[in-house]
Amino acid sequence: MNDTLDLVAAPRDLVLRPPELQLDRTIFARTGLSGCIPSCEGVYLFHDLRGVLYVGRSANLHRRFVQHLEHGQNPWLGMALSSPVVKMCFSWIQVEPGESNSLERSLIRMFRPPCNRTSLFDRPDGDPKAACKSRVPTTVSTIVQQEEEEARR
């Protein structure tokens, strides 16, 4: 039941306490535009009209962007990229070396993007070995449980 409350509270928090972000740039997520992306460390977001779908970090933003588009290893992000609502965008924030981890965690906690594989916002800070729950199965199982309860009524 707590997962359901978290899924409801997250969007409300975004409305009541919007994040203050200074994006370096936003482009449409198309391979031909990869030349615009710097080869530096940073945190990035994939988003469309549905909202922020994925947050990640990389030592090389340019290379990671191309990897996502050409060799997608995340099936949820792959589906989102192949079926955008209007246009899929890629935004990034350049950071100093070593600063991307904390910013990524903060953005994941804030936006709770559905395509991220692990719930970094559920992992205790400073404990990289802590087990993470997958958000998608939790969300899906919550919906299935609700549908089963409604069917029983």
Encode pLDDT of 30-85 as tens digits: 989 999 999 999 999 999 999 999 999 999 999 999 999 998 889 999 999 999 99
CB-based contacts of 6-15 (< 8 A; 24+ apart in sequence): 6/112, 7/112, 7/139, 7/142, 10/111, 10/112, 13/110, 14/110, 14/111
Position 65 scores a pLDDT of 96
CATH level 3 topology of 2-152: GIY-YIG endonuclease (3.40.1440)
Position 127 scores a pLDDT of 44
Position 36 scores a pLDDT of 95
Sheet of 25-28: strands edge to edge? 25-28, 89-94, 42-48, 51-58
Running DSSP on this structure, what letter comes out for residue 1?
-
Encode pLDDT of 2-29 as tens digits: 555 555 666 777 788 888 889 999 999 9
Q: How far apart are CA 54 and CA 78, in angstroms?
A: 11
Q: What are phi and psi of 91, to 5 degrees?
A: -120, 155
- 115 touches 52 (CB < 8 A): no
Position 7 scores a pLDDT of 56
Number of CB atoms found within 10 A of residue 24's CB? 15
Q: How far apart are CA 25 and CA 90, in angstroms?
A: 8
For residue 8, give the 3-state DSSP assignment. helix
Report whether pLDDT(122) > 50.
no
Domain positions in the chain? 2-152
Position 5 scores a pLDDT of 52
CA dist list (Å): 33 to 28, 51, 72: 7, 21, 17
Is the entire prediction scored with pTM above 0.85?
no
Encode pLDDT of 124-137 as tens digits: 444 433 333 334 44
